[in-house]
Amino acid sequence: MLRPALLAMALVSPLYAADCPPLLQHAFKTLQGKPLDLCGLAGKPILVVNTASKCGYTPQFEKLEGMYKQYRAQGLTVLGFPSNDFNQELASNKEIGDFCKLTYFVEFPMVEASSVQGEGANPFFKALSKATGQAPKWNFQKYLIAPDGKTVYAFSSPTEPDAPELMAKLKPMLR
């Protein structure tokens, strides 16, 4: 017999079993400490970006936030993954959150800082790297996950969030 807590979880979260693609079977905490279960994003396009606050590409936050505001009603979620793998991130999750909010008015979800490269990479980024054959070589690597949760496109750091090649993949995914 299932314990009441397990039964409640099974009733509330059936996505993991059937409807959640393996790539999205990850959970994180946002910079504000709130839980973020990627299975809740299944069926929608997701733009994943590894970020850093002190990088030459940091101004891309402005376009990322603009895309989020413009297309979120059509299903797009932008997810930021701060990382100090390239020694350009602030020291704490609070500092990162404050910087993103106060400098670029970021409202899209940003998860707690983690590694995105190499053996120490968080499991989600390992899966993204495996799916595309492209691990982040620098900050602001972008991965566009199709609503099927299986198809993933990678875009290098210099590719702006609103670049024609990225938008050509994203626009057909919007509802």
Taking CA atoms, 50 is separated from 59, 77, 152, in Å, by 13, 14, 15
CA atoms within 13 A on the CB side of 114: 21
Structure tokens at 155: 């875009």
- 55 carries an active-site annotation: yes
Please tell me which residue in 20, 39, 55, 100 is annotated as part of the active site: 55
DSSP state string for 12-72? H-GGGTTTS-GGG--EEEBTTS-EEEGGGGTTS-EEEEEE-TTSTTTTHHHHHHHHHHHHG
d(CA 146, CA 48): 11
Q: Which active-site residues does the annotation give?
A: 55
